[in-house]
Each structure stands twice: as C-alpha cells, then as structure tokens.
C-alpha cells in the first residue's frame, strides 16, 4: 500500500487520468460499512473514480480497503479534507488525490506537501488566484450549482490554464453540459451515490442506474478519451 510521500503517479498524470474518466463519484456515508457497500456496487457497475469524504467514519480505512481490492485499476481519492491532519491521514491511506471544500493557504500547502494531486475548493476569481499563487493547477468549483455552466465558462476566460472540477448540486443529466462548458471532469454526489443501500434490490437498482448513466449520459467509456485536453 502506498503511504505518504508515495503517490500512485505524478499529479499531472493523475489529472490526465481524471480527464479521461470524466466523472468522480463522491461517497458520503454514515458508516464505514455503508461506504464500502455503496462503493463496491458503483465500481462493479463501471465507475472508475471515487472520492471518499472525510465526514464518513473511518474514511481512511475505506480508502485503504478499496485501494487494496482494486489494485490501482480505479482512482480512489479523499474528499472533504478540512485540516492538515486529514490530509496526512488521507495520504497515509493511499488516496490518489485530495479534495477540500475550501482553500485556506495552510491546508493547501499541507496537501501539496503529500505529492498528490490536490483540488482545493473555490468559487470566486479571488479564490482561484490565491490557489494558483500557491502552486495549484486544478481546483474544485464548489458549490457548482451556484454558478452553473455559464459561470464556469466565465472563469475559464481569465483562467484558461486551470483545470476546474465542478461539484455540488449537479445532476446526472447535467454532466455533459458541464463538460461541454469546459469542465476537466465533474463531481457527482447523492444524485448517483446514495449514502446507504438496504437489501439486494436497491443494489441492483443502483447498478442499473450507473450502467444507464455511463452508457446514455456519457456515451460510453470512450467518450472522455476523445475529450481529453492536451
């Protein structure tokens, strides 16, 4: 298992992989068991990138378990990183990338020090500029629903060199619209990843929903390969 200081690949290559995948599914559960069950159904249905939030109990153990079970074939990142300690624990767990809801300088510096791709949360041009000044090349646009795809287009005007990953309040039907607006990838939460599952039928229903989303909304797994930005 990869620990702190030993990311799976350099941040720029991780960013390329995320662009090819196109969608990061956010896991936010009340228990470790719920998080693992939901994650396993999603991965089994074809999801290639997960973000396990640190509001989930034992998030580090969830990440470590999923990384072991998938052997690096999918991306498993850490989300809702709100403290330096969170960033260290996430790196130790083997997280492929680190995501925070905001962008305080001390936290960004701690996340960057892990050697992993970091996606600090931003919403305004000033926040983007502060993040860029610390060496960040990619950001989480959050909550994305407040600005919409047109807001992203406006931000890309002065910041064409920043990779934006809009997250928060985005539905499955809106993903392609965000990608067409210039999103590097899109974060999807409860619209695709419920907090828990009960019984086999809900699990089957979730798997079917994921299959439909990957096939209908994204046009299949090859769509993002043709959309990767150079």
**For domain 29-218, which architecture applies?**
Alpha-Beta Barrel (3.20)
18: left (phi over 0), alpha (psi -120 to 50) or beta: alpha
Which tokens go with 193? 């990843």
pLDDT in tens, 66-79: 999 998 899 999 99
Integer angstrom CA distances of residue 164 from 41, 137, 200, 225: 27, 9, 36, 17
13 is catalytic: no
Q: Which residues of the chain, if any, have pLDDT below 50? A: 1-5, 221-226, 228-230
Tokens representing 48?
């290639």
3-class SS of residue 173: helix
* CB contact at 8 A, 143 and 123: yes
Task: State residue 218's pLDDT score.
Answer: 72
The DSSP H or E segment spanning 15 is helix 11-21
| Whether residue 143 has a cis bond before it, omega within 30° of 0 | yes
State residue 225's pLDDT score: 45
Q: How far apart are the first and last CA of the chain?
A: 31
H-helix segments, 117-212: 125-133, 148-156, 175-180, 200-212
From 48, 51, 92, 174, the catalytic residue: 51
Active-site residue (options: 13, 92, 127, 140): 140
Instruction: Quote the pLDDT of residue 219.
Output: 66
Residue 48 known to be catalytic: no
Q: Are 222 and 60 in contact (CB under 8 A)?
A: no
CB atoms within 10 A of CB 173: 11
pLDDT of residue 95: 97
Of 41, 60, 51, the C-alpha closest to 203 is 41
Give the three-state DSSP class for 79: strand
pLDDT of residue 6: 67
Quick one: CA torsion of 155, 17, 67, 191, rounded to 10 degrees?
Answer: 50
- pTM, 2 dp: 0.92
What is d(CA 206, CA 222) in angstroms, rounded to the nearest whole number? Answer: 22
């Amino acid at each position: 298992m990869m620990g702190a200081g030993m990311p799976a690949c350099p941040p720029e290559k991780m960013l390329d992989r995320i662009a090819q995948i196109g969608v990061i599914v956010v896991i936010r559960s009340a228990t470790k068991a719920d998080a693992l069950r939901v994650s396993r159904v999603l991965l089994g249905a074809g999801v290639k990138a997960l973000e396990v939030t640190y509001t989930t109990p034992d998030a580090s153990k969830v990440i470590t378990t999923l990384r072991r079970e998938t052997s690096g074939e999918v991306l498993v990142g850490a989300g809702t990183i709100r403290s330096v300690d969170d960033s260290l624990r996430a790196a130790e767990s083997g997280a492929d990338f680190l995501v925070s809801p905001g962008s305080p300088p001390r936290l960004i510096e701690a996340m960057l020090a892990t050697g992993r791709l970091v996606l600090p949360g931003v919403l305004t041009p000033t926040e983007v500029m502060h993040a860029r000044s610390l060496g960040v090349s990619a950001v989480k646009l959050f909550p994305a629903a407040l600005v919409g795809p047109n807001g992203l287009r406006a931000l890309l005007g002065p910041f064409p060199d920043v990779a934006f990953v809009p997250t928060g309040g985005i539905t499955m039907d809106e993903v392609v619209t965000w990608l067409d607006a210039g999103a590097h990838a899109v974060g999807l939460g409860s619209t695709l990843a419920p907090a828990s599952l009960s019984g086999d039928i809900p699990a089957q229903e979730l798997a079917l929903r994921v299959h439909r989303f990957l096939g209908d909304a994204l046009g299949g797994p090859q769509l993002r390969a043709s959309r990767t930005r150079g």
